[in-house]
Structure 1
Amino acid sequence: MGGAFRNLALAVALMAAPPVRAQVVDFESLAGWQQDGQAAALAAFLDTCDLLDAADWRPLCKLARDVPRDDASARAFFELFFRPVIVGTPPALFTGYFEPELTGSAVRTPRYAWPIYRRPPELADGTVYHSRASIEGGALGGRGLEIAWLDDPVEVFFLHIQGSGRIRMTDGSVIRVGYAGRNGHAYRSIGQELVRRGYFLPHQVSAGAIANWVRSNPDLGAELLNHNPSYIFFRKIANLPADKGPIGAMGRSITPLRSLAVDPAYTPLGAPVWIEKEGRVPMNRLMVAQDTGGAIKGAQRADIFYGFGDAAGDAAGDVKDGGRMVLLLPIDRAFAMLEGL
Structure 2
Amino acid sequence: MLFSTSCSEGGVIREAHFNKSSFANLKGWKNDRHLAAFKAFLKSCDAMMKRKSGDPISGLTSIGGKSEDWQQICVAGLISEIESDQEAREFFEKWFTVYSITDEKGSDIGRMTGYYEIELNGSRKPTKKYRYPVYKTPPNIEKLKGCNGFCHASINRGALKNKKLEIVWVDSKARAFFLHIQGSGVVRLPGGQEVKLGYACQNGFPYTSVGSVFKKYGIEGVCTATQIMEWLDKNPKRGIRLMEENKSYVFFREVYGESPIGGQGVPLKGERSIAIDAKLYPYGAPFWLETNLPTTEYSRSTDPYNRLMVAQDTGGAIRGAIRADIFFGRGTRAEVLASSTSSIGRCYILLPKSVYVPTTQKAF
Give the TM interval when normalised to the shorter protein.
0.7 to 0.9
Q: CA deviation at 1:255?
A: 0.8
CA–CA separation in structure 1 for the residues paired with 2:272 and 2:90: 18
The answer on whether the counterparts of 2:286 and 2:350 sit within 8 Å (CA) in structure 1 is yes
2:103 aligned with 1:90: no
The answer on whether the counterparts of 1:245 and 1:307 sit within 8 Å (CA) in structure 2 is no
- Partner of 1:21, secondary structure, is strand
CA–CA separation in structure 1 for the residues paired with 2:323 and 2:346: 9
Counterpart among 55, 59, 76 of residue 63 in structure 1: 76
The answer on whether the counterparts of 1:245 and 1:256 sit within 8 Å (CA) in structure 2 is no
Counterpart among 330, 337, 340 of residue 358 in structure 2: 337
Q: CA deviation at 1:126?
A: 11
Q: CA deviation at 1:36?
A: 0.6
2:55 aligned with 1:41: no
Residues 297-306 or 16-25, more deviating? 16-25
The answer on whether the counterparts of 1:101 and 1:310 sit within 8 Å (CA) in structure 2 is no
Counterpart among 103, 115, 120 of residue 133 in structure 2: 115
CA–CA separation in structure 2 for the residues paired with 1:317 and 1:339: 36
CA–CA separation in structure 2 for the residues paired with 1:293 and 1:179: 11
Counterpart among 11, 21, 26 of residue 30 in structure 1: 26
Q: What's 1:229 paired with?
A: 247
Counterpart among 295, 304, 327 of residue 305 in structure 1: 327
CA–CA separation in structure 2 for the residues paired with 1:80 and 1:74: 10
Number of residue pairs aligned between Structure 1 and Structure 2? 321
Which amino acid is the alignment partner of residue 243 of structure 2?
L
The answer on whether the counterparts of 1:279 and 1:322 sit within 8 Å (CA) in structure 2 is no
- Partner of 1:253, secondary structure, is coil
Residue pairs, 1:215-226, within 5 angstroms = 215-226=233-244
Q: Deviations over 1:81-117 (max 9, x none)?
A: 2122233233221111111221111222221111000
Q: CA deviation at 1:339?
A: 5.8
Q: Deviations over 1:196-231 (max 9, x none)?
A: 332237xx6210221223233322211111121221
- Partner of 2:357, secondary structure, is helix
2:145 aligned with 1:149: no
2:189 aligned with 1:169: yes
CA–CA separation in structure 1 for the residues paired with 2:47 and 2:7: 20
Which amino acid is the alignment partner of residue 292 of structure 2?
E
CA–CA separation in structure 2 for the residues paired with 1:48 and 1:125: 34
2:260 aligned with 1:246: yes
- Give the unaligned 5+ runs of structure 1: 1-13
Q: What's 1:134 paired with?
A: 154
- Partner of 1:247, secondary structure, is coil
Q: CA deviation at 1:188?
A: 1.4
Give TM-score, length-normalised by structure 2. 0.82
Q: CA deviation at 1:146?
A: 0.4
Q: CA deviation at 1:58?
A: 1.5
CA–CA separation in structure 2 for the residues paired with 1:49 and 1:232: 29
- Partner of 1:223, secondary structure, is helix
Which amino acid is the alignment partner of residue 174 of structure 1?
E
Identical residues among aligned pairs (%): 39
Counterpart among 191, 199, 203 of residue 211 in structure 2: 191
Q: What's 1:75 paired with?
A: 89
CA 94–125 in structure 1, closer or farther in 2 if over 3 Å, else same: farther
The answer on whether the counterparts of 1:39 and 1:71 sit within 8 Å (CA) in structure 2 is yes
- Partner of 2:351, secondary structure, is strand
Q: CA deviation at 1:15?
A: 4.9
Q: CA deviation at 1:258?
A: 0.7
Counterpart among 124, 128, 132 of residue 142 in structure 2: 124
- Give the unaligned 5+ runs of structure 2: 9-14, 52-66
Which amino acid is the alignment partner of residue 55 of structure 1?
E
The answer on whether the counterparts of 2:47 and 2:265 sit within 8 Å (CA) in structure 1 is no
CA 273–70 in structure 1, closer or farther in 2 if over 3 Å, else same: same
Residues 54-63 or 34-43, more deviating? 54-63
CA 66–336 in structure 1, closer or farther in 2 if over 3 Å, else same: same
Counterpart among 256, 262, 265 of residue 270 in structure 2: 256
RMSD of aligned C-alpha atoms? 2.3
CA–CA separation in structure 1 for the residues paired with 2:199 and 2:271: 20
